[in-house]
Amino acid sequence: MQPIADRPPTAPATPGDERWRIRRTADDLERIGEIESIFALSNGWVGWRGALDEGRPYGMPGTYLNGLYERRELSYPEDGYAFPQESDTVVSAPNAALVRLWVAGEPLDLRTGTVRAHDRVLDLRAGTVERLTEWISPAGHGVRVRSTRLVSLPRRPIAAVRWSVEALDAPVEVRVCADLLANERVPERGDDPRAASVLTDPLTAEYRHSEGHDGVLVHRTGRSGQRVAVAVAHLVDAPDGFADGVDCAPDRLRLSVSGTLRPERRLELTRFAAYECTPVDGASPQDLAGQVVAEADAARADGFDALLAAQRATLDAAWETADVVLDGDDELQQATRFAMFHLIQAGRADGDRTIPAKGLTGNGYDGHVLWDTEGYVLPVLTYVAPELARSALRWRYAHLPQARERAAELRLPGATFPWRTIGGEECSGYWPAGTAGLHVNADIADAVLRYVAATGDREFLAGPGVEMLVETARLWHGFGHWSDTGAFHLHGVTGPDEYAALVDDNVFTNLMARRNLRGAADAVERHPEAAARLGVDPAEVAGWRAAADAVFLPYDRKLDVHQQTAGFTHQPEWDFANTGEDDYPLLLHFPYLELYRKQVVKQADLVLAMQRCPGEFTADEKARNFAYYEARTVRDSSLSASPQAVIAAEVGHLDLAYDLFAEAVLHDLADLGDKTSDGLHLAALGGAWLALVQGFGGMRDDRAVLSFDPRLPRQINRLVFHLRWHSHRLRVTLTPDEARYELPDADPDTGIEVWHHGERIRVTGAEPVTRPMPPVPDPGPEPPSPPGRRPQVKGRAPS
């Protein structure tokens, strides 16, 4: 081994624009689990939680592969027909991010000795986590540790870390162990039903091999039938006199390097890891091992600096569309970029994979895919990274056969997509909030319709798109029923508000089903060959259209508001006067029997219907509905603040909208729900973009045209965002006085049509189009929130 090169070490202690960097220090170590989620790196296939290199202290270690899970049995005190018998639970892949250090026999542990400096930075432009620590051991030996890690966005299987240690003041004996560890112990949380189930030793060793500094481990799951392989390749640059060796066991491969480190020298270790996962009936263990070894070797041959350069180039291209400029509040500017970074790295375009509710940042919700993806994440990716949205929708299509089987089991036509899943089967064992949440099917259809409208992807519509639309339309047509008044009803469903279950005529579900039915009818009429292939005849299409036209929307004419569900406004009011701050979230302190029968709303439901289907409501109806439901919505869900912000902005309550946006975008960075340690809330992060673009930008897309009714709150001096619309990149710049629309990449003679406050305008590549910002009508007094539940005031004194 040769003396270390003279190039400067990687370190985070360089100045930078803090609006592009998330920094945590030793003062934050008491919230280590939260930091691990915030500093998680992913490329939509591999996910490394932001745990410390040395592995301790930790909140929840985790290395995830998209789709790697194990099956476990569900048990019921009293079983019933069609109750799911098994569930999927995400499991950790072998962890290749561990680099442990012993200093004169004492392990590096920030809970012991003296921490002279500890600085970690998530760089949103570089796509890296950098670390600088100066630590004095209990015996008085000082070292400086630096590291840079990344999960490669352009190279699907690859993650890497460059790590170094220096002696501070005097020579010291050091031992470095770079571990590849399978079946890592994960702490179990039993205090919250939203926490993940923890499986002990879910991976069984099948094959291991080491050669030189490198090696590979291959494992398999017991019940889900998956095989996972991880290979590591190393570069070791150490002073003369250091010894090294590799130990290869079934669940651990360890490279050890040890020797005496003098202050003027440095030991550096760079690890390149490659991950792959296949069904057990795919490649053999040896073949899979050979595949990942080749990938790791190739990454090492290219070098860590090449990975860094490719990472930056990939992100530079992504940020051209994904970046949102928010002048007026640096904290929220930083938080907005943090949100967009995690959305960018959550998906992949080069494989049919979707995005779980936590992405690959934690094991919350058992790693399940929920309606959050189609409801909150894909509406963003459709406009900033449509190739990622397409991949997620193709994943749904790949599991259409299981959705058909589930519908048949429920005695329903068409397809019933699962409420919670990883492998495609229904995993929710709680009937009222799971199986009855049929709106997930309309959410998927809605995502298809918005994606096709935004991209013009006719190939997708003619293939997977039309088939998903048809099968979900068949579900609604068969599930609903006609009353003797000629109305079409959907009874016994659960809408987005999980404090109301098995209700009749949930407005959100009914309107989304209407959109689904009409979208399917339009699609098969445009693609008669697909209609023939799927056995759709004119009579069936006519039935869809008739049902859509007759969908019943419950309305309280005395109060002059829509009822969230039939009879909702006649239910008893919740006793907010005797509900304390410590009683939230209500689901942890009150029985569902009490929640279900009262007028208390966990998350936006009727308000979400007004966001998703704005053309179904008049301006006056929106204002009255918003005021009524604002007073009853407690936001015990991270899904709530965003749609509330959008509608608050539309009806003119801009201060409230701004505070709701702040709550959404800071949900994880400030750990507002005390759940960030289980993984990030991607729906809240996506919702922050929706609050900005749909709320203050006034963007609407529900009728396949792009319209804007922008209005800025006084806390924002300038708002700039981009949208992909078909083949163009539209830039929208808003100031208090004017709106500016431009196509920065287009030829002068090409353009698109958009609407600005009811005026049709054509935007071309020739020059920007500007229009004045009309004054916002006075909406009157801000509607009250439930006592103590108004979002935190941002940028103004509390009233």
Residues with a catalytic annotation lie at 498
Query: In a 3-state reduction of DSSP, which class is residue 15?
Result: coil
Question: In 137-265, which ranges are E strands?
Answer: 142-151, 158-167, 172-181, 203-211, 214-221, 226-237, 243-248, 252-261
DSSP string, 753-768: EEEETTEEEEEESSS-
Q: Using an 8 Å Cβ cutoff, are 761 and 752 in contact?
A: no
DSSP string, 237-288: E--TT-EEEEEE-SSEEEEEEEEEE-TT-EEEEEEEEEEEEEETTSS-HHHH
Helix 641-651, helix 654-665: angle, nearest 10: 160
Q: Using an 8 Å Cβ cutoff, are 277 and 219 in contact?
A: no
Ramachandran assignment for 486, one of left (phi > 0), alpha (psi -120 to 50 degrees), beta (any other): left
- What H or E segment, with its residue span, contains residue 391? helix 386-398
Going by C-beta distance under 8 Å and a sequence separation of 6 or more, which residues neighbour residue 249? 208
The sign one gets for the Cα dihedral 74, 76, 79, 83 is negative
**For residue 110, how far is the Cα from the chain centroid?**
30
Alpha carbons 471 and 534: distance in angstroms, whole number: 9
User: What count of residues does the chain have?
Assistant: 799
Structure tokens at 708: 């804007």
Structure tokens at 119: 């600085």
Please compute, for residue 349, the number of CA atoms within 13 A of its CA located in the half-sphere on the CB side: 12
Q: Using an 8 Å Cβ cutoff, are 561 and 625 in contact?
A: yes
Count of beta carbons in the 10 Å neighbourhood of residue 293: 20
Alpha carbons 272 and 595: distance in angstroms, whole number: 51
Q: What are the φ/ψ torsions at residue 234 (nearest 5 degrees)? A: -130, 155
* 372 marked ligand binding residue: yes
Q: Using an 8 Å Cβ cutoff, are 150 and 311 in contact?
A: yes
Residue type (1 letter), 420: R
The 8-class DSSP code of residue 783 comes to: P
Q: Can the peptide bond before residue 432 be classed as cis, meaning omega within 30 degrees of 0?
A: no
* 603 marked ligand binding residue: yes
**Which residue, chain included where needed, has tokens 């108004």?**
790
Alpha carbons 88 and 420: distance in angstroms, whole number: 9
**Which residue, chain included where needed, has tokens 């509607």?**
783
Write out the binding residues for substrate. 371-372, 602-603
Write out the binding residues. 371-372, 602-603
